[in-house]
Amino acid sequence: MSETVQLQTDVLVIGGGMAGAWAALGAARAGAQVVLVDKGYCGTSGVTATGGPGHWWVPPEQRDAAVSQRAQLGLGLAEPGWMHRILDTTWRHLPTVGTHYRFGVDAQGRRIYRALRGPEYMRALRALVEVAGVQLLDHHPALELLRHADGAVAGAAGLRRPDGRPWTIRAGAVVLATGGCAFLSKLLGADNNTGDGLLMAAEVGAELSGMEFSNAYTVAPIRSSMTRAMSYVFARYFDQAGRELDIPPGPNNTREIAAALLNGPVLCSLDRMPADLRQLLSSISPNVMLPFTRHGIDPFRDRFEIQLRGEGTVRGIGGLRVANADCETTVRNLFVAGDTASREPVAGALSGGGNVNSAWALSSGLWAGEAAARRSRQSGRRARTAVERAGQAGLRPRQQALGLDSAATVQRLQRPMLDLDLNVFRDGAALQRSLVALNDDWQNWRDHARGEGIDVLRQRETAALLATARWCSTAALARDESRGMHQRTDRPEMRAGAAHRLTVGGLDQTWTSPHPVAGNAVATTASLA
């Protein structure tokens, strides 16, 4: 085996998307030495780099109304205090990107901060991170966390993709910003989003929350990964015979579109999009017109076939439970930012979409980075103390290592996580069957999976996908009601007294437990094998 690369730092940030970059900036600006490792290339990996991210950008005098409206959409699970925090943090810090990013202007010459061009935004964030003195290690996927004997996180270990050489980085605090989990749905920019951070955190005892709200979908042209929800706010839908379908305007029309797709092909027209927005579309989302151009389609005149592309927890809500205002997890020295965290405090039970999620990624990144820097100063790196590696499934099988089929395993778990009939139209019996099958695959993977060389990355990704799918299914089965994104055909009503969060966790045996929201009533604990 190649010699291990060993480093030490104050703060280690795992993940180089929007949230990871802001976390690195927060830690560096707070005076910490920072290393950022990314599975891909910081500045191009992740969903932000491929689109036109909006931000929840609200002037101070309009915030009370905006927060009140969003809280109603949260259906009892969002907290106004958190919403005000991200609005204020985004308002103050997003303009600072202007040293490396050219914001657009409106007809009155005012700068437009609400919407950004993803590729340029991420390039600017990388430049800012480099200027701040952060050490960037691209193509260095993390595989597992390190921890001290008292359970506090002590860093991480992984490998370098170019040569498979292992690395370990000891750190006073770690920020997980590895993104959500899209279950390899071919969502543009999300192939790196395989739930890695969720699994690593769970292996050291961290809890998750909101995983039942994991069934986000966005419209895309057929055979395309281009999902940009803003365009489809203006869409009209038709069946194959040309009859217009009774589907309300987006974005919260997933169930109606899914029902239509289960009955046959669905066509779409964007002829209602205003002319001025059509002209701006390519500058807001540079890639959005490419699939149409390649196939000779004018989406403002022609009808084109569509699909629903699964986004899992990326545009969904679930992730690691945020235990305090610093975005620390339930494990000491382990902080979380962006889509790796549960967005329930700011989104509640309904997807925050692009704008709330982007504001959350920026804000939680800064808060987590700053707090990690403080923690490192308080506790030090503890470089001379012994640590243990926490990784399990895909790294250290409990029984004889066997050659397992990652592709077949992923295909099986995608059925309950992506297929419309199971994941949009949920019911208890189907959820239970799916969970049994997922548990069987997990046990097999836990007992026998171990990769060699660079293949260990795929083994770990598959383990993370399985673990995430099990947490999603466990939470969906435990929430025996319909609320927000989570809709069950056998429990169609929103249940009084159920406006609590569901904490979920566990590896070989998953469990759920209710968690109160701002004094809301708490229901009984559920435990699921």
- How high is the pLDDT of residue 56? 96
- How high is the pLDDT of residue 523? 30
Region 350-368: what's the mean pLDDT? 95
Average pLDDT, the chain: 92
- CA of 295: how far to CAs of 120, 278, 494, in Å? 26, 18, 44
CATH number at residue 496: 1.20.58.100
Say yes or no: 522 and 411 in one domain. Answer: yes
- How high is the pLDDT of residue 529? 30
Asked which of 311, 330, 356 is the last residue of a domain, the reply is 311
Listed as own residue / partner, the contacts of 284-287 with beta carbons closer than 8 Å and 24 or more positions apart are: 284/52, 284/115, 284/117, 284/230, 285/51, 285/52, 285/117, 285/118, 285/228, 285/230, 285/231, 286/52, 286/117, 286/118, 286/119, 287/50, 287/51, 287/188, 287/226
Asked which of 265, 283, 311 is the last residue of a domain, the reply is 311
- Which DSSP helix (H) or strand (E) runs through 332? none
Q: Would you say residue 522 has pLDDT above 50?
A: no
User: Per-residue pLDDT tens for 239-253?
Assistant: 999 999 999 887 789
Region 12-19: what's the mean pLDDT? 98
- Whole-angstrom distance, CA of residue 410 vs CA of residue 120: 33
Cβ-contact 164, 454 below 8 angstroms:
yes
List 35's β-bridge partners, or say none.
12, 135
Question: Both tokens of residue 122?
Answer: 């991420």
Say yes or no: 415 and 307 in one domain. Answer: no
Q: How many domains does the chain have?
A: 2
- How high is the pLDDT of residue 526? 30
Residue 525: band (very low, low, confident or very high) from pLDDT cuts 50, 70, 90: very low
User: Between β-strands 166-176 and 334-336, what pairing exists: parallel, antiparallel or unpaired?
Assistant: parallel
- How high is the pLDDT of residue 527? 29
Q: Would you say residue 344 has pLDDT above 60?
A: yes
Q: Tell me the whole-structure pTM to 2 decimals.
A: 0.94
Q: Would you say residue 3 has pLDDT above 50?
A: yes
- How high is the pLDDT of residue 231? 82
The answer to whether residue 421 is domain-embedded is yes
Q: Domain containing 238: what range?
A: 216-311
User: Per-residue pLDDT tens for 254-285?
Assistant: 999 999 999 999 999 999 998 888 877 776 67
Residue 293: band (very low, low, confident or very high) from pLDDT cuts 50, 70, 90: confident
- Whole-angstrom distance, CA of residue 411 vs CA of residue 380: 44
Q: Would you say residue 163 has pLDDT above 60?
A: yes
The answer to whether residue 33 is domain-embedded is no
The answer to whether residue 438 is domain-embedded is yes
CATH number at residue 228: 3.90.700
- How high is the pLDDT of residue 383? 67
- How high is the pLDDT of residue 376? 96
User: Per-residue pLDDT tens for 27-41?
Assistant: 999 999 999 999 999
- How high is the pLDDT of residue 51? 79
The answer to whether residue 135 is domain-embedded is no
Residue 514: band (very low, low, confident or very high) from pLDDT cuts 50, 70, 90: very high
Q: Would you say residue 387 has pLDDT above 50?
A: yes
The answer to whether residue 505 is domain-embedded is yes
Asked which of 311, 334, 355 is the last residue of a domain, the reply is 311
The answer to whether residue 380 is domain-embedded is no
Q: Would you say residue 444 has pLDDT above 50?
A: yes
pLDDT over 70, % of the chain: 97
Region 404-430: what's the mean pLDDT? 97
The answer to whether residue 414 is domain-embedded is yes
Cβ-contact 15, 196 below 8 angstroms:
no
The answer to whether residue 479 is domain-embedded is yes
- Whole-angstrom distance, CA of residue 337 vs CA of residue 468: 17
